[in-house]
Structure 1
């Protein structure tokens, strides 16, 4: 059997099998920094990115300077535990979320974890929430939390082929998370399937009076009007840049309009968002 094939799940695993799987494959994949034995009494087992506060573990943000930093549970972790979710460890990430250079973060580099390995291909696993995406794909957990400032959830999710969700800023509190950008940071979720993703999101999407973005998001939140379970009277903007594929834009537009939503095409300019060396 090819080594990569052995990482793929062949059905659901028991808690004991998950622990054995981590012991066997994590030294190669380098997805998890620290973990404890999963609690067999809990339904969901979740890991968190190493910039998210988790009591009993170091919250280092992938940096040697914070390698022994301990934080209290982040607000989102508190909510997970409140819903009896087993949050049993932390995942490697690009150092300080890859802010300083473009040379290594795209390959998932972590000072503490080295270069994590994509469990399904030779494609670089992305950054900066690399370890969380790999852990879900490798069957180490049901779901894992990550953070995104600019593609840090979407890139690893795409590279590792897992369900990845970066919600609107403010829908998940940032309290207790080491920041990269107070303007752009957003916690998000990787999950083994859509049902788990929705469940975990329902647990942690809650207003937090100590997070300004959370207050703003929930104070201005509008409830959707529904008619026969179809969303109506809401317009979705689609930003189409000059080099966007017309067929892809048209496909997205048709899919949205089939649900009853209205779409508006918004011309966009190409902007270089890459961090410079």
Structure 2
């Protein structure tokens, strides 16, 4: 950077700086939001070429930051996110000069007509939307052969820790935050797409209970399982973004549940002693295919939890991930995507899933590197959600995952939450619509990040945050790449 002060600050202070530290520095006048944007843009220009994590920069980011700096001087900060640069996954609508494409060249010229509700809330809190992140195309629901983190629009997202799986589908959001290209990011999950990349990139990821965060303006996969959530380097940072995203939305009826947390103090759960007297369940059937290095790391994490005052029990959820209804995703994807595309910007020519497939076929050399068999399977369905296969699969998910797996089994065992290595077994909580939080623990001998996931019942986020924060403070498992 030409400005020596900023270059010195960027190389000596910025990496791994928490949101609270940024706020303190801005309050003291040591840095400004404008300078944060400049420094993160410098990081992106230097590091993103090797990561493919950031798709595009918001042209208005710098002037937005300048305006927020002026507002801070005049009236003080709006919230803990005032002036903080954040990145947004490419399937989340932003009504600005950026595109929303779900990683697909078929949608590369799509400009959203309005902000997604989560973006609206971030802007209202004073956050700076720095840019859009790459992702696994169509939220990893294009082909069962596609690698995590690949999109036709952005190419392959790479893990900043080395030649490891970057995770999907919020791959760019995770890699960008891990590499310090922004303070934090917002991703989305249907089944593991926040938890998996968080674990693979030594990050904290919060996958919320369905109903706490609006899905309006997010390119959908499944209305029964989709949610947005934060990816951050610390639990505190993740909570700061998470609490901003929570809220009701007339356009997303399930968010009526968010009313119970109106005005709630989420930071009260940043309790370093939150593991004392807690009982965790471990279902080893969920990670039978885990590698030996990861299993060793998990066993060490269990011992650390015991030292911190937690009790560990082997339990059985009575549900296998293979029993859960994949048909739910197939049927809902067509119905939900068609509805989104039909209501999108009229100048955007892709109006249906059939149009997506036609575009891919016409541009096969570019679009079909991994095929699009999942799109084709979904498009053969009616999209009316009347099929017996769909209804039966939906009922099976609600019973096996929610009622039997994550409610009755945990209650009968007398445990407070489920423990998982990395994201093994997270599909059960996702099918149930229940929350999970992943926390970095260590790196395996070959340098691959390894995390622990705490999973609970609906609206258990306050408890899970306590467990995650206490574990983080005890282990200090994150190491910068």
1:206 to 247, 250, 253: 247
Larger mean CA deviation between 235-244 and 71-80 belongs to 235-244
What's 1:271 paired with?
321
Structure 2 equivalent of residue 12 of structure 1: 14
Q: Of 186, 192, 199, which aligns to 1:151?
A: 192
Give the match for residue 223 of structure 2: 182
1:133 matched to 2:135? The reply is no
Match of 2:126 in 1: 84
Whether the 8 Å contact between 1:153 and 1:164 is mirrored in structure 2 is: yes
Alignment of 1:186-265 (within 5 A): 186-216=227-257, 218=259, 238=281, 240=283, 242=285, 251=302, 265=315
- The 1:220–1:202 alpha-carbon spacing in structure 2 relative to 1, beyond 3 Å, is closer
Indicate whether 1:115 and 2:156 are aligned. Answer: yes
Offset at 1:192? 2.6
Matched with 1:96 is 138
State the Cα distance separating 1:31 from its structure 2 match: 0.6
- 1:258: how far off? 5.0
Q: Which residue of 2 aligns with 1:24?
A: 46
Distance (whole Å) between structure 1 residues aligned to residue 124 and residue 204 of structure 2:
24
5+ long unaligned stretches in structure 2: 1-10, 16-34, 70-81, 289-294, 331-372, 375-481
- Contact kept, 8 Å, 2:89 with 2:186, in 1: the verdict is yes
CA deviation after TM superposition for structure 1 residue 209, in Å: 2.4
Contact 1:116 1:125 in 2 (8 A): yes
Q: Is the 8 A contact 1:171 1:206 kept in 2?
A: yes
1:239 & 1:175 partners in 2: Cα distance?
35
Pick the aligned partner of 2:93 from 53, 56, 71.
Answer: 53
Which has more radius of gyration? 2
Aligned residues: 262
Determine helix, strand or coil for the equivalent of 1:201.
helix
Measured after TM superposition, the shift of residue 266 of structure 1 is 4.9
Deviations along 1:36-70, whole A, 9 cap, x unmatched?
35426353110100000112211001112211111
Change beyond 3 A, Cα 1:168–1:236 = farther
Contact in 2 for aligned 1:164/1:189 (Cα 8 Å) = yes
Structure-1 separation of matches of 2:52 and 2:286: 36
Q: CA separation in 1, counterparts of 2:219 and 2:187? A: 12
**Cα offset, 1:236, TM superposition:** 8.4
Looking at structure 2, the residues matched to 240 and 23 of structure 1 have their Cα atoms a distance apart, in angstroms, of 44
- Asked whether the 8 Å contact 2:283–2:314 carries over to 1, the reply is no
User: Which runs of structure 2 are paired with 1:35-54 in the superposition (5 Å)?
Assistant: 35-36=57-58, 37-38=61-62, 39=65, 41=69, 42-54=82-94
Residue 185 of structure 1 and its aligned partner are, at CA, apart by 0.5
Query: 1:173–1:207: 8 Å Cα contact kept in structure 2?
Result: yes
Preserved CA contact (<8 Å) 1:239 1:267: no
Structure with more helix by fraction: 2
2: CA distance, partners of 1:244 / 1:64: 36
State how far apart, in whole Å, the 2-side matches of 1:203 and 1:219 are: 15
- Alignment of 1:73 onto 2:95: no
CA distance in 2, matches of 1:58, 1:239: 42
- Residues of 2 paired with 1:207 and 1:134: CA distance? 30
* Cα offset, 1:220, TM superposition: 10
Q: Which runs of 5+ in 1 are unaligned?
A: 1-8
- Partners of 1:192 and 1:271 in 2: CA distance: 29
Residue 155 of structure 1 deviates from its aligned partner by: 1.1
Structure with the largest fraction of strand: 1
- 1:94 shift after superposition: 0.9
What root-mean-square deviation, in Å, do the aligned CA atoms of Structure 1 and Structure 2 show? 3.7
TM-score by length of 1: 0.80
Q: Please, which moves more after superposition, 143-152 or 237-246?
A: 237-246
TM-score computed with the length of structure 2 as normaliser: 0.48
Instruction: Note the C-alpha offset of 1:74.
Output: 0.7
Q: Secondary structure at the match of 2:211?
A: coil
Q: 1:134 Cα shift?
A: 0.8
Contact 2:213 2:255 in 1 (8 A): yes
Say whether residues 1:62 and 2:103 are aligned partners.
Answer: yes
